[in-house]
Structure 1
Amino acid sequence: MPKRILVVEDDATIRETLSFNIKKEGYLVLAAQDGAEALRSARTARPDLVLLDLMLPEMSGLEVCRVLRQEGDVPIIMLTAKDSEVDKVVGLQLGADDYITKPFSLRELFARMTAVLRRSEQRALPAAVDEDRLGRLTIDRAGRRAMIDDTELKLAPKEWELLAYLVRRPGRVFTREILLEQVWGYSYLGDRKTVDVHIRWLREKLGRFGKLGFQIVTVRGAGYRIDPMRKSAEATA
């Protein structure tokens, strides 16, 4: 069954152009011109992906993103004319999966759509209640262990918690502030570089095992994510 794409854009020309070209790629397209209509469509039609313009009348795209993320886990790609690091970080912090800055090519948009949909499908795969698997890595949540194939990784408690948190949502970007809150706790007053240091330690320990089927990626100006990787594209992070 074709994937359903919700296009949320107040500019009629852009909305119609996107809808036309996305349909040509074999998707089913829903369209909304403002935030309220977008939320109604998302609740009734249950799209597989939302393309969300940041600058909407009345209810902003960031507010729509926040509500969508509160109500579910639908993938969201932000469309923005603002090439501002702050806007990108806020959107990602609210739960958007990716962003693309106008003007953009259809080729780039379709590549990002394919990648986000693929990551969403991987997250939806059934898994054991207390285990998460990604490539050669298994996170045993009940035993608080991390295994590469049959070998247990020697991780400090916070290293394990950080890795387990990232693995639970592959492809999702997390800012350093979110990681500090979720892994170290709201009362933690340490330097943001604590996250960077622990990421470096994880990369060093994971790197000893060669190709793993994923990599920890630094998103410049935003934070970190774990990317599942195809065998043909696998490389050291």
Structure 2
Amino acid sequence: MKILIADDDPQLVRALRITLAAHGYEVIAAPDGAAAVTLAAQAHPDIILLDLGMPHLDGIRVIEALRGWTDAPIIVVSGRTGSADKVDALDAGADDYVTKPFQIDELLARLRALARRSAPASTGGSDPVVRFGDVTVDLAAKLVTRAGAPVHLTPTEWRMLEFLARHPGALVTRQTLLKDIWGTEQVADTGYLRLYMSQLRKKLELDPSAPRHLLTESGMGYRLVLG
């Protein structure tokens, strides 16, 4: 699997190149935003690790440029810790956000989870269609529509909605979602689930500030209410 690292910190790039190569990944690197867009178009990486604060082209602009032609998973790896930066990155089309400094085991777990979700799905029996409000979730086709119009979800947003849709009405704990989305219960919940749920509500709820279907169970997890 080919990974593009876009970061202007040569020491971090070197460390990631060595570590990821040791785990079987093919690594290519770009030192700035403009080079990242060019290299991605030439090499077609399977996953992209992207810093936000790069020269020549800001990371958000890079995400927007990439999303114009590729659905390859994008993980933002940034020292920016503000929720606004995370929301901007997710809105632009990023699939995940890791804050520097980070544990390499956590990054590897997220890479594995994204790789699994990016792999072609095996064919099998038909999956149900789940409906709530004016939203239809076709689990077999991995298609979401709202009032008949398609809704674009990032791979991580889809994974979270899919899990809830497969367990309608049930309380799904944060630990369960973390394990399903990132492949391990050891990934700390530092607000990522809240961010992804906020994004889903913006896209699927009539009033995101007063959701009727994508509900938070305080201190426990989330629940999808149909109807």
The bucket for the TM-score relative to the shorter chain is 0.5 to 0.7
TM-score by length of 1: 0.63
* C-alpha separation in 1, matches of 2:204 and 2:226: 19
SS of the residue 2:224 aligns to: helix
Deviation at 1:171, TM superposition (A): 2.2
Which residue does 2:224 correspond to in 1? 203
Question: Residues 45-194 of structure 1 correspond to what in structure 2 (within 5 A)?
Answer: 45-121=43-119, 124-125=120-121, 137-139=127-129, 146=130, 155-160=131-136, 164-165=144-145, 170-172=155-157, 176=198, 180=202, 183=204, 191-194=207-210
* C-alpha separation in 2, matches of 1:110 and 1:92: 20
TM-score by length of 2: 0.66
Q: Give runs of ≥4 in structure 1 deviating > 6 Å.
A: none
Greater Rg by CA: 1
Counterpart AA for 1:203: L
Which residue does 1:152 correspond to in 2? none
Once structures 1 and 2 are overlaid, which stretch shifts more, 196-205 or 160-169?
A: 160-169
Deviation at 1:32, TM superposition (A): 0.6
**2:73–2:155 contact (8 Å) kept in structure 1:** no
Q: 1:109 to 1:202 in 2, by over 3 A?
A: closer
Tell whether 2:9 aligns with 1:23: no
CA RMSD in angstroms comes to 3.3
**2:95–2:154 contact (8 Å) kept in structure 1:** no
Q: 1:199 to 1:101 in 2, by over 3 A?
A: same
* C-alpha separation in 1, matches of 2:65 and 2:123: 27
Which residue does 1:6 correspond to in 2? 4
1:35 to 33, 36, 52: 33
Number of residue equivalences: 175
